[in-house]
Amino acid sequence: MTKKTSNSDITYNGKPLQGLALSSEDEVFRENTDEVLDYIRKTVPVLEDGEFKRWFISDHAVADGVLKDRENFRRDWEENAAEGTWGKDVAPMIGKWGMFDIDGPEHKRVRAPVSRMFTPGKLKLLIPKIEEAIDREIEHIRNKEEFDFISEFAVPMSTNFMAALLGIEARDLVEFKQYAEDLTQVFIERESENVIEKAGAAKEGLEAFFHKVVAEKRENPKEDLISLLTEEEKNPITDKDIVDNCVLMVIAGKVTTTDLLGNGLVAFLQHPEQLKEVQENPELYDAAIEEILRYDSPATEIPRYNRNACQLKDVHLEQGQTLAISLAGANHDPEVYSCPHQFNIHRDEPAHLSFGGGAHYCVGAPLARIESKIAFKRFFDEFPNAKLVDEKPKRKAIGGFGGYREIFVKIN
């Protein structure tokens, strides 16, 4: 790097803003996210994180530009990351996750068949299954005075959403749910015994499970995502492609749906006047979902790797650097959003970046909007007087995700 911004003196509460101090795994960051990101954005919007060998971007204009520039900024660390960076030293230990970590024609080949499941016509067919999944969980909590919204409502409901999308047969639901719960628990908390080991074993088990399902769907296709992928003729994808992307969707779809529901519930219950407005005018749910996504994004950070040397703000970056795009920071940039730390369902401002951008814009975004809208409307229709037990529920300490570990709610 021919020019570096000195970051050794950039601290918050006396702690250098490097490494884990830039993620929700750090308690100070977790409890003061807006304040920390405001300080970084104002001081060093393109921050060199020497500890993690990356650059942390909190400025909306820079983040938006990087996400939309598919030619110069890519997701494939294997092809684009330089030696001595996060993308070269750490990303290989995490591995590649289906279409998330490939670019260009190969990315298009794998993503295009998946995207066909998220057309308006296909999604309309899923609505009855979504409603059934929501109603099932509502019945489970109906007679409880108090319950944890995350573990007793959002988690099982998101699992049922995913089962419906993928076309998991009733006879296989117990096995699928166990794998899905074990695999994604690591994205909720990591204090439980053997949670990481269980996640690794669950990933292997889920891959074998999906190989079996794919074989069955090739013989007997139905109206579901896996069947759609097995029938693809124009750009055929392999069984491994299908399995990799199914595992990816279980993680990305299930975890972010859980967090979207939890974050939205807290936002609504902490702003009862706006909840009342939405309850009285259900057409406002669409705008409310978008504001939830901006105000408290389920995914808080995503990576990119620059293919060519470039200039971001006043920083010159050599080719192959790892860029950590802070979606939480960009979504709260006061240059774009007025009073960004206020929840306001009537915003008329640029769209949030919570679904990313460019070629890697979240393929499941249309489904996330539909399922969260139906879930919130049904929940608040059934429990209009729901209240938080703790006005400030416990956040989860997982980097890259902005959700809650638990949210205790009173409904009766």
Quick check: 269 and 386 in contact, CB under 8 A? yes
SS3 of residue 386 by DSSP: coil
CATH architecture group of domain 11-410: Orthogonal Bundle (1.10)
- Helices 285-295 & 272-280 angle (0-180, nearest 10): 150
Q: What is the CA radius of gyration of the chain?
A: 21
pLDDT tier at 2, thresholds 50, 70, 90: very low
CA 355/CA 357 separation, integer angstroms: 7
For 297-324, what is the mean pLDDT?
Answer: 96
CA 397/CA 35 separation, integer angstroms: 17
**DSSP class per residue in 87-107:** HHHTHHHH---GGGG--HHHH
pLDDT tens, 149-163?
999 999 999 999 899
pLDDT of residue 1: 37
Q: Which long-range contacts (CB under 8 A, 24 or more apart) does 386-395 make?
A: 386/265, 386/269, 386/410, 386/411, 387/269, 388/266, 388/269, 388/270, 389/146, 391/270, 393/266, 395/24, 395/30, 395/31
Close Cβ partners of 253 (under 8 Å, ≥ 6 residues apart): 158, 161, 162, 165, 364, 367, 368
How many degrees, rounded to 5, is the angle at CA 106 between CA 60 and CA 57?
15
* 147, amino acid identity: F
* 223, amino acid identity: E
Judged against a pLDDT cut of 50, whether residue 6 lies above it is answered with no
pLDDT tens, 76-108?
999 999 999 999 999 888 888 888 899 999 999
Of the chain, the end-to-end C-alpha distance in Å amounts to 60
pLDDT tens, 169-199?
989 999 999 999 888 887 877 766 688 888 8
pLDDT of residue 237: 83
Quick check: 147 and 141 in contact, CB under 8 A? yes
Quick check: 86 and 54 in contact, CB under 8 A? yes
pLDDT tens, 262-290?
999 999 999 999 999 999 999 999 999 99
CA 359/CA 304 separation, integer angstroms: 12
* 373, amino acid identity: K
DSSP label at residue 396:
P
Neighbours of 223 (CB within 10 A): 12
pLDDT of residue 234: 58
Token pair 């406002």: residue: 284
CA 240/CA 219 separation, integer angstroms: 17
Quick check: 66 and 327 in contact, CB under 8 A? no
CA 276/CA 181 separation, integer angstroms: 34
CA 87/CA 71 separation, integer angstroms: 18
pLDDT tier at 4, thresholds 50, 70, 90: very low
Average per-residue pLDDT for the chain: 92
DSSP label at residue 389:
S
pLDDT of residue 233: 64
Q: Please give the share of the chain, as a percent, with pLDDT higher than 90.
A: 74
Judged against a pLDDT cut of 90, whether residue 14 lies above it is answered with no
CA 319/CA 307 separation, integer angstroms: 6
- Helices 155-166 & 239-270 angle (0-180, nearest 10): 150
Judged against a pLDDT cut of 70, whether residue 50 lies above it is answered with yes
Quick check: 49 and 18 in contact, CB under 8 A? yes
pLDDT tens, 218-269?
999 988 889 988 886 655 788 998 999 899 889 888 899 999 999 999 999 9
pLDDT tier at 5, thresholds 50, 70, 90: very low
Cα dihedral value 2, 21, 19, 294, nearest 10: -80
For 377-386, what is the mean pLDDT?
Answer: 97
DSSP label at residue 119:
S
CA 321/CA 317 separation, integer angstroms: 7
Judged against a pLDDT cut of 90, whether residue 33 lies above it is answered with yes
